[in-house]
A and B are shown apart, each in its own frame.
Chain A
Amino acid sequence: MLPQVLASGLSAGSIYALMALALVITYKTTEVPNFAQGDMAMVSAFIAYMFLTDFETGFIFAFGAALVFAFLLGVGFEVLLLRRMRKPTHLNLIIMTLGFTLALFGFAGWKWGADQRQFPFPVSANEVIRFGSVSISTLSVATILIAGILMLLVFAFFRFTKLGVAMQATQQDPIAARINGVPARAVVGLTFGISSVIGTVAALLTAPLITLDPTLMWDALLKGFAAAVLGGLNTPVGAVLGGYLLGVIENLFGAYISVEFKSVVAFLIIVIVLWFRPSGLFGRHHERKV
């Protein structure tokens, strides 16, 4: 039973890790937890659905369109709303992301209704592959692979490309980065774009697993935050590890303790981590200077 539970945990954890990564890279740049992350991804998934069903395009075109839309949505959110606030206090920034998420939620419900829709996907959630005693759906295998590859790409981007390195420099020290000729504002916008794309990949992998409706990403958003808190809100690698860990813990809890209260695990983890190790398992604590 245990290997089976671990496999399910890894698959669920892939989604959480993607959400956590998306949340952390914007958090590192702006110190704002983006509560709109989930619904931005949800609306982008609906865009893919619209192309697939209304315009009957192929998967590649539909998913490509969704990712482009997600990128523009992320950049637009930062450039047109977050950046233009009169009093960008922490509280106001958080409230802004919440207002935006509510508007997106309403928009999706208005446009597509609250029906739970089957989301077409190239691989099936019902087709099963066996590895010894472990049986795992092709969708789960695809999820694990796609998420893994995407995250490696993101890390490679930040480490090895000129733009990625510049973005990281801005995250660490905006003023120094600006002095060195990195346009900080553009970088912040770009970060929101990239993070929105990552979140959307998570949404596109979630939708075929459950069904597509405006609440698609509520659960994933909470899990993403829980994973990020678990791993450390300031460490992308930690957050990703936190995602996998959360997936596994949650499935262990579901298998051995209680299935009904499985989703409460995320909340418990948040509270426990915040209580005993606020900087997360892999994060470092910074003392703020006055």
Chain B
Amino acid sequence: MSFFAVDGLTMRFGGLTALDDVSFEVDQGMIFSIIGPNGSGKSTAFNCISGIYQPTAGKIYFEGEGISGLAPHHIARLGIARTFQNIELFSTETTIDNLMLGRHQHMHSGVWSGVAMLGRATSAAREETENRERVQWIIELLDLVQVRDRPVGELPYGTQKRVELARALAMEPKLLLVDEPSAGMNADERAEVAERMRELRAELGVTILLIEHHVQLAIGLADRVLALNFGKPIAQGAPEEIRQHPEVIKAYLGDG
């Protein structure tokens, strides 16, 4: 059984079929890109994987176990983290507090131990301090030191995207779903994003499932690519195959 597999995934909203019989497999340590024009069902696939939508049909397997139908917080606890296309940060909280939310599942304090945090030695305080230390390197890695204690709502768009990625990394996921990391960025920033993705894989060994509108970036990064159009898989394979695939070329030319 592969590390992560999607089998016959289908999602309908009323009469609209957003995903139609999509299947793919991802090996551990891979960067897997899903490409496709707007409205091709990429984000819907992510929402199904992370449990926000209940798929109409099909199965999703992670480390050999079926996860479709589980609640989002269960899926998160299995080690799947994600970012969102339209940033979903806790906007009134600071960067560090957003990252600490990523630590939620690795921490244990409840109401009583939280209330009774009366000094450095109490359990909640120890746990807080330890976990804050743990995420410090992520803050440094993603260059967020300067904005560590600022509410994220007031940060520029690009920085917010980095905070969101950092928050997902704070979960120490095995599988990271990244939704449109280069949206709204120029060529230099895109190159930076690509570099960061490679770095993450190399340093953390995390498996990355990437949705990307920008085809060159997606294909350039990936070990394997899936192309969707109108919810249907039109091609799957190694990056160079996809680049020359007639259906893919057609889909993108047709898109304008």
Q: Do chains A and B directly touch (beta carbons under 8 Å) in the complex?
A: yes
Q: Which residues of A contact B (CB under 8 A)?
A: 287, 289-290
- Bound: A43/B175 CA distance, A: 59
Binary A-proximity of B47-78 (CB < 8 A = 1, otherwise 0)? 10000110000000000000000000000000
Assess the B47–A290 pair: CB atoms within 8 A.
yes
User: Which residues of B have CB within 8 Å of A289?
Assistant: 13
Assess the A290–B13 pair: CB atoms within 8 A.
no
Q: Which residues of B contact A (CB under 8 A)?
A: 13, 43, 47, 52-53
- Nearest CB in chain B: distance from A123 CB, A: 49
Assess the B47–A287 pair: CB atoms within 8 A.
no
- Bound: A287/B52 CA distance, A: 11
- Closest Cβ neighbor of B54 among chain A residues: A287
Shortest Cβ-Cβ A-B pairs, 7 listed:
A290-B47, A290-B52, A287-B13, A289-B13, A287-B53, A290-B43, A290-B53
- Bound: A290/B18 CA distance, A: 13
- Nearest CB in chain B: distance from A35 CB, A: 25
Q: How many A-B residue pairs have CB under 8 A?
A: 7
- Bound: A287/B53 CA distance, A: 9
User: Which residues of B have CB within 8 Å of A287?
Assistant: 13, 53
User: Which residues of A have CB within 8 Å of B53?
Assistant: 287, 290
- Bound: A290/B42 CA distance, A: 13
User: Which residues of A have CB within 8 Å of B52?
Assistant: 290
The contact sample of 7 A-B pairs, CB cut-off 8 A, is A287-B13, A287-B53, A289-B13, A290-B43, A290-B47, A290-B52, A290-B53
User: Which residues of A have CB within 8 Å of B13?
Assistant: 287, 289
- Bound: A157/B52 CA distance, A: 40
User: Which residues of B have CB within 8 Å of A290?
Assistant: 43, 47, 52-53
- Nearest CB in chain B: distance from A178 CB, A: 22
- Bound: A168/B207 CA distance, A: 49
- Bound: A192/B6 CA distance, A: 49
- Closest Cβ neighbor of A289 among chain B residues: B13
- Nearest CB in chain A: distance from B145 CB, A: 30
User: Which residues of A have CB within 8 Å of B43?
Assistant: 290
- Bound: A135/B126 CA distance, A: 74
- Bound: A72/B53 CA distance, A: 44
- Bound: A65/B74 CA distance, A: 59
- Bound: A290/B43 CA distance, A: 9
- Nearest CB in chain A: distance from B18 CB, A: 9
- Bound: A287/B13 CA distance, A: 8
- Closest Cβ neighbor of A287 among chain B residues: B13
- Nearest CB in chain A: distance from B202 CB, A: 31
- Nearest CB in chain B: distance from A29 CB, A: 22
- Bound: A119/B227 CA distance, A: 72
- Bound: A290/B47 CA distance, A: 8
- Nearest CB in chain B: distance from A15 CB, A: 36
- Closest Cβ neighbor of B84 among chain A residues: A290
- Nearest CB in chain B: distance from A49 CB, A: 46
- Nearest CB in chain B: distance from A283 CB, A: 16
- Bound: A289/B47 CA distance, A: 10
- Bound: A289/B13 CA distance, A: 9
- Bound: A290/B84 CA distance, A: 10
- Nearest CB in chain B: distance from A284 CB, A: 10
- Nearest CB in chain B: distance from A266 CB, A: 32
- Bound: A285/B53 CA distance, A: 15
- Nearest CB in chain B: distance from A190 CB, A: 30
- Bound: A23/B47 CA distance, A: 34
- Nearest CB in chain A: distance from B41 CB, A: 13
- Nearest CB in chain A: distance from B83 CB, A: 13
- Bound: A129/B53 CA distance, A: 57
- Nearest CB in chain B: distance from A191 CB, A: 26
- Nearest CB in chain A: distance from B123 CB, A: 33
- Bound: A108/B251 CA distance, A: 66
- Bound: A43/B53 CA distance, A: 46
- Closest Cβ neighbor of B85 among chain A residues: A290
